[in-house]
Chain A
């Protein structure tokens, strides 16, 4: 573990008590975040990507039970200090010392994540007043600065506006301003562009990227949109059924994917250069985690599944220093499986395209 690691999730295991029974949503997740880098967590709905991040923020629903694991956080510039286990320090301390001022979050739906009865300026000031020892007027000045930073024109006028007076894109900018209000080190973005229309999406992503550089933030993106991942991420975690099935840097995931699930995700991206007139989709649906999957949770949907996939869950196989995947196909005894042809062509095209820009 490098000294630059500021967030380390290890062996996280979470289940939810529901009326139907216990849902084992997170089944041993490991994840590292280095200072200043951007990590994307990719997966289908229900794969556990949001739950993992909610655990980091202490926002899990009351029926969630953390069975095991740790979420270690280290204040930047404090390399000798012990890492703090966010799961152990208790909610009150988490809110006082961590949320907002060290780890902040941007939510998916800007239409509902602002308080409808409070002017937006006030909502930004709240975060500043909560964590910084400053006067009202100083907080107001900083809030105006933040509004300008996130690209809201005539901030002075907008300051008194209520959320319903702003468009979706503007509201998401305000939510980002709120997240940045107490100078966090880590910004968690939970599908920040899903609820926005496409033209605004790109702008918001650029905004987050530029702020990340300015404020030296480490960013975690939760998304199911691989297009977003390609634009912003340094590292990618592919999650499936409460587990990380493949992790690597962005080139490894896009050009040398090893897990059949990642192949499926990549094939399912719309592509205008294909001759195929059908959009691929991964057959079947994710397993219901009310029943503990036996073997590899992806086996039923995996055209390359082997006998062992039905019996035992695969461990993480190392492909390179940064690239790991949990599939039995990487076992030395496994038969050699080629990438699906259509995907291979697509990757080749993408590589060529990328080379043009180099």
Chain B
């Protein structure tokens, strides 16, 4: 098992390195300038390029970047928040995005599971149909449309929640964005849980458990849930990353200083801020790889078949 974990972590680290290189290269190939070029003369730009080492061969630049990165230094902004270390700006953004995203994940997963289980237990009846319709709407309506609807209803028509994000009233003002972000997760989880459970209900081992004399809640807890949950974990993982890294549009609309908004600003500001785009790209990739790794390991805990396969690799 230890060998298995090491192997997976090693693979993850290698994947990350390749991704960082690709990002690094792509950012440089991208059209546009890393600084507000309209306000600078050619001489200034040339001096700036030399200062940032942008004229060095790309492999040399990459080596220097990774060396700094390993020390935890993402560099400074080149056009966005000029001169402020990226780490400082990122810290606030990550904190905002993660808290709202985390709230959305909890809400989406909990309600999604509940809906899915309810639908599966009432298969073919009204509640099942209701959950199906809800999931389809939830998957189809983009989260920012739902957010605008919420703003219109609960900030304008019934003035209760604030129009925009307010860091001083964090919990209260994150209800609407979290709710709108959770809709997609909620619907996906609900639909998936329902289908997985229905499949497990039709399985031979549930038949055998029934033949033993099991029924109702006991049957669901002992044999249905765990088997249905295994594939749900795989679906949940990428959704978690999406939510944690913040939805670009929702953050922009609701005025949240999160990483989604930061990414948009870094690209659409005066000049493309290479260091911000890179730092955020690395953050996204790291999160994604970490969550996938976690899922792989969690799979081993949930599914004895994988646990044993991992043991045999030792």
Q: A residues engaging B (CB < 8 A)?
A: 57-59, 62, 91-92, 95-96, 98-101, 104-105, 107, 109, 112-119, 126-127, 130-131, 162, 164-165, 175, 178-179, 181-182
* Surface stretch bound by A, among B82-90, B103-111, B183-191, B203-211: B203-211
List of B residues within 8 angstroms of A92 by Cβ = 215-216
Is B303 interfacial (CB 8 A cutoff)? yes
Are A117 and B304 interface neighbours, CB within 8 A? yes
Residues in B whose Cβ lies below 8 Å from that of A112: 203-205
Interface residues of B, dominant DSSP: helix
Which A residues touch B235, using CB under 8 A?
none
Q: Output the residue of A109, A118, A175, A181 with the most chain B CB within 10 A.
A: A118
* Separation of A182 and B124 alpha carbons in the complex (Å): 33
A91 vs B230: C-alpha distance when bound (angstroms): 29
- Find chain B residues with CB under 8 A from A165 CB: 308
Selected contact of B211 from candidates A62, A100, A131, CB within 8 Å: A100
Q: Which chain A residues lie closer than 8 Å to B302 at the CB level?
A: 117
- Inter-chain CA distance A292–B201, complex, in Å, is 31
Contact status A162-B214, CB under 8 Å: no
- Which of B124, B212, B222, B304 has the most chain A CB within a 10 Å cutoff? B212
Separation of A96 and B210 alpha carbons in the complex (Å):
10
Task: Known A59-B207, A181-B212; judge A116-B227 contact (CB<8 A).
Answer: yes
Known: A92-B216, A115-B205. A59 touches B211 (CB 8 A): yes
A-B contact pairs, 23 of them (CB 8 A): A59-B210, A92-B215, A92-B216, A96-B213, A96-B215, A99-B212, A107-B208, A109-B204, A112-B204, A115-B223, A116-B205, A116-B303, A117-B304, A118-B222, A119-B304, A126-B209, A126-B222, A127-B212, A162-B305, A178-B208, A179-B211, A181-B212, A182-B212
Q: How far is the CB of A94 from chain B (nearest CB, A)?
A: 9
Closest 10 CB pairs of A and B: A100-B213, A112-B204, A99-B213, A95-B215, A113-B204, A162-B304, A105-B211, A115-B205, A127-B212, A100-B212
Q: What is the number of residues of chain B that contact chain A, defined by CB distance less than 8 Å?
A: 25
Which residue from chain B places its CB closest to the CB of A162 in the assembled complex? Answer: B304
Whether, in the assembled complex, B252 has its beta carbon less than 8 Å from a beta carbon of chain A, the answer is no
Q: In residues 204-241 of chain B, which contact A (Cβ within 8 Å)?
A: 204-205, 207-216, 222-223, 226-227, 230
Once A162-B305, A164-B305, A165-B308 are accepted as A-B contacts, the answer to whether A113 and B213 lie under 8 Å apart by CB is no
With A59-B210, A115-B208, A127-B212 given, name 9 new contacts (CB 8 A): A59-B207, A62-B124, A112-B205, A115-B227, A117-B302, A131-B213, A162-B304, A164-B305, A179-B211
In the complex, chain A residues whose CB is within 8 Å of the CB of B207:
59, 107, 113
Least CB distance, A63 to chain B, in whole angstroms: 10
The distance from the CB of B67 to the nearest CB of chain A, in whole angstroms, is 47
Task: Tell me the nearest residue of chain B to A98, going by C-beta.
Answer: B213
Q: Closest Cβ of chain A: how far from B208's Cβ, in Å? A: 5
Centre residue among B215, B302, B303 by max chain A CB count within 10 A: B215
Q: In whole angstroms, what is the CA distance A328 to B279 when docked?
A: 87
Q: Give the distance in Å from the alpha carbon of A107 to the alpha carbon of B212 in the complex.
A: 12
Complex interface: chain A residues within 8 A of B226 (CB): 117-118
Please indicate the chain B residues that have their CB under 8 angstroms from the CB of A182 in the complex.
212-213
Instruction: Report the bound CA distance from A115 to B204 in whole Å.
Output: 9
Task: Say yes or no: B223 contacts A118, CB within 8 Å.
Answer: yes
A194 to chain B, nearest CB (A): 13
Is B227 in contact with A126, judged by CB distance below 8 angstroms? no
